[in-house]
Amino acid sequence: MTQERAPLAFILKLGRALHTYGYPAHRLEAILEEVTRRLGLEGQFFSTPTSIFVAFGPQEDQRTHLLRVEPGETNLGKLADLDEATSRVLSGEMSPVEGLRRIDEILLAPPLYGRLLTVFAFGLASASASRFLGGGVKEIAVSAAIGLMIGMLSILAAKFSSFARIFEPVAAFMASAVAVFIAAKVGAHSISNDMLAGLIVLVPGLTLTVAITELSSQHLVAGTSSLTGAFVVFLKLGFGVALGGQVMASIVGAPRIASPVPLPDWTEYIALVAAPIGFTILLRAHKRDVLWIILAGALAVAGNRAGSRVLGPELGVFVGSLTVGIASNLYARFLNRPSTVTLVPGILLLVPGSMGFRSIAALLDQHVVPGVETAFKMILIAVALVAGILMSKVIVPARRVV
């Protein structure tokens, strides 16, 4: 490859890689524009969940590239590595040709965590979510079992693309069936807690938040696509839960439902440490960042609770997202790493996906008014969360590059 073409190739490959590992449209376009400008080029970018359009050169003499991409899973470790490679190219430590080789190395690098540890992280995240939702010992145990089962299903989904297309409804079906079977044959417990906590990793609350952010940033095509995608996932999960519950109840009989037995307050602190550790593994962040991710989660929850006392539970999330947003921008500035590393796990503890799931479940049960009320609360929380993130960038501006 010639030296003249290397910067263009570097930008194209960087854009594809960032999209693959979970960067939303508004940030992806801003990063590529900044990198292009600092490499002395002129370019325009348009990103959607399934494609990136790139045009180099002055408007009257542009050369346009189309990158067909698939929405990928967030991989915080590889995003951090791409950030480092981009910074080194822009600072002159590496040439664009060397930068291309480094991106190839990052793309081909094996996963940071093995399958067994990933399955364990599913169970850990579900058990922690059950405690946050007020679950007792029985609910936490059942939620952890459901999470482990979904973790094993995720390995199959990664192996077989045909199964990946039906992963969400199948996982929801299995979660509901297991919860009903245990309630009918083993002992009474809170089925709603078990199913919601067990499926918490699949609930598209983060996608919903990204969609609202993109719409707020005037990226209307990407935002609308993400919003539609989140709604479809909610429908898949709701359908799977309804079907699984009905099928299992017809086989083993009606489940026995009981309210959770409250646990001591100190158990929530354990969950507050366990959940970020689970997210660190699931989001494939570097081990060096686990303490920062735990701190971000603690700040998010503390801010949310402090805000809830003053503004109410729906708007209290604004304070939580503002707090974790400021902390993440400070982390990025002082350690020269992408703010996404701590922002995404912190936001995951605040996202309104659980309310979206409850809304769909209520509508499927023909409880229309409660379902609509819950959906409205979900939208209100999502808007408050996005407002906190945007405000944090005003108070502590994010870094200029990645």
pLDDT one-digit tens code per residue, 288-326: 999 999 999 999 888 888 888 887 776 788 888 999 999
For 63-112, what is each residue's pLDDT tens digit?
A: 899 999 887 788 999 999 999 999 999 888 888 889 999 999 999 999 89
Query: In terms of DSSP H, where are the helices of 112-166?
Result: 115-132, 137-159, 161-164
Please give the full DSSP string across 238-293, using - where no structure is assigned: HHHHHHHHHHHHHHH-PPPB-PPPPPPTHHHHHHHHHHHHHHHHHTT--GGGHHHH
- Alpha carbons within 13 A on the beta-carbon side of 350: 40
43-48 vs 63-68, strand pairing mode: unpaired
For residue 352, pLDDT over 60 is answered with no
CB-neighbour burial class of residue 61 (10 A; exposed 0-12, middle 13-18, buried 19+): exposed
For residue 204, pLDDT over 90 is answered with no
Whole-number pLDDT of residue 400? 57
149-161 as b/e: b if 16+ CB within 10 A:
bbbebbeebeeee
Phi, psi (degrees; rounded to nearest 5) at 39: -90, 5
Residue 86, C-beta contacts closer than 8 angstroms, at least 6 positions apart: 14, 31, 35, 99, 401, 402
For residue 355, pLDDT over 60 is answered with no
Token readout for 280 is: 């660190």
For 265-280, what is each residue's pLDDT tens digit?
A: 899 899 999 999 999 9
The domain spans of the chain are 6-108
Whole-number pLDDT of residue 293? 94
* Band (353; pLDDT cuts 50, 70, 90): very low
Mean pLDDT calculated for residue range 132-137: 85
Which strands form 63-68's sheet, in the order they lie side by side? 43-48, 51-56, 63-68
For 247-261, what is each residue's pLDDT tens digit?
A: 998 988 888 888 888
36/360: higher pLDDT: 36
For residue 371, pLDDT over 60 is answered with no
Whole-number pLDDT of residue 203? 80
51-56 vs 43-48, strand pairing mode: antiparallel
Whole-number pLDDT of residue 368? 46
* Band (54; pLDDT cuts 50, 70, 90): very high
Token readout for 216 is: 């707020």
For 8-28, what is each residue's pLDDT tens digit?
A: 999 999 999 999 888 888 888
Q: Report the percent of the chain where pLDDT is more than 90.
A: 32
Mean pLDDT calculated for residue range 35-61: 88
Whole-number pLDDT of residue 4? 62
For 143-172, what is each residue's pLDDT tens digit?
A: 999 999 999 999 988 888 888 889 999 999
Whole-number pLDDT of residue 347? 86
Mean pLDDT calculated for residue range 361-383: 62
In whole numbers, what is the pLDDT of the chain averaged over residues? 85
Q: Which long-range contacts (CB under 8 A, 24 or more apart) does 280-283 make?
A: 280/121, 280/345, 281/113, 281/117, 281/118, 281/120, 281/121, 281/124, 282/118, 282/121, 282/122, 282/125, 282/201, 283/74, 283/75, 283/76, 283/344, 283/345
Rounded distance, CA 208 to CA 227, Å? 6
The pTM of the full predicted model, rounded to 2 decimals, is 0.88
